[in-house]
Amino acid sequence: MTNVTGLQAGESAEEQAFQAKIDREERIEPKDWMPEGYRKTLVRQISQHAHSEIVGMLPEGNWVTRAPSLKRKAVLLAKIQDEAGHGLYLYSAAETLDASRDEMTEALHDGRAKYSSIFNYPTLSWADIGAIGWLVDGAAIVNQVALCRCSYGPYARAMERICKEESFHQRQGYEIMMVLAQGTPEQKEMAQDALNRWWGPALMMFGPHDSNSVHSSRNMAWKIKRRSNDDLRQQFIDMTVPQAEYLDLSIPDPDLTWNEETGHYEVGPIDWDEFERVVKGGGPVGRERIRDRRRAWEEGAWVREAALAHAEKRRQRKMQAAAE
Ligand code: FAQ
């Protein structure tokens, strides 16, 4: 309800000006006033996104030493390094909201912070590396293109850069699948098996159905989210089914149908019980992922210490030079 001052009930003048700025499609920058809820939900989403990039390096890292050729190994290494870079842009974007890197890392390690459910599945064959590029990066791009128009400037700018790299990732994955699908019957079977295992989890990447998405309505009003979970999932399905047909692989869903009237593919039910389990770290390799991240953090302690000591030395040298 609007009162005599033109404010919505319960809304302060600051909140109203903030929303008006968003409605004018102007970006919110770190030093602008923002409601605490806006800051918190962004820290949650951006840090979850950053953790996903970093944990997402692990399933692919599993195949670096077993890539089938030197070229494949070089490409895979470059992709994994890109994911590390994406994590860094995103942690930096979250830091502009007063979230500390150490706190975010701690939250990941002690299970308080989520990361994408998709990375709790194992990479059992080389074809899984193709399927990750094709399906996981493919789903990530669909979601992230929408996030390029997010109302928070640092997140939106990070997304623009990340999307460019993700589209290369998606193509390299599809190319691996193409080579396998056109290879020997055994190779084609590997590609089909990977599609069978990654299809359902890829659909879950977009989050729960809109009717069960707790953050959607608030985040859409704040224009953090531009399109709903189901809307983006549908775009991914419509884009990916013809790609599978081109590979002559079958989408593992007996209920998959083309709806002539709506112009969309329709899929069978998604296993939300599995999603709930996997999000809570109960996937096939959930524990292993956190164990590996913790170990990497501990083993990297000396690098952080050395970088800090070096920065301190430079600072002192600079101060000394200024004093002379
Ligand atoms: N996994 O109310 P909603 C990548 C959580 S990057 C885990 O719908 P929201 C690159 C959600 O956080 C992939 N948790 O939430 C790569 C919320 O948590 P709460 C990561 C999930 O935020 C490729 C609760 O459920 N991308 O793959 C998932 O409005 C290859 C309720 O859900 C991003 O993070 C899930 N799948 O919408 C790297 C994109 N879905 O409140 C390496 C940014 C939902 O309990 C190799 N994030 N949850 O703490 C977003 O766009 C949104 O946060 C959504 C969820 C769409 C994920």
The answer, yes or no, to whether any atom of ligand 1 lies below 6 A from the CB of 226, is no
The Cα 171–Cα 317 span in angstroms is: 48
Global pTM value = 0.94
Q: What is the pLDDT of residue 1?
A: 45
DSSP H helices, the chain, are: 13-23, 36-55, 57-61, 70-95, 101-109, 126-131, 138-147, 153-181, 185-204, 216-221, 229-247, 272-277, 286-299, 301-323
Phi, psi (5° rounding) for residue 184?
-70, 165
Closest atom of ligand 1 to 44 CA is: 49
Q: How far is CA 53 from the centre of its chain?
A: 6
Mean pLDDT for each 10-residue chunk of the chain (324 residues)?
A: 51 92 97 97 98 97 96 97 97 97 96 95 97 98 97 97 93 98 98 98 98 96 97 98 98 98 98 94 88 95 96 96 91
Look at residue 282 in the predicted model and tell me its pLDDT.
82
Look up residue 237 and give its amino acid: I
Residue located nearest, by CA, to atom 30 of ligand 1 = 137
The pLDDT of residue 11 is 80
Whether residue 204 contacts residue 118, with contact meaning beta carbons closer than 8 Å, is answered with yes
The single residue listed with the structure tokens 């007063």 is: 98
- CB of residue 213 inside a 6 A radius of ligand 1: yes
The terminus-to-terminus CA distance of the chain in angstroms comes to 65
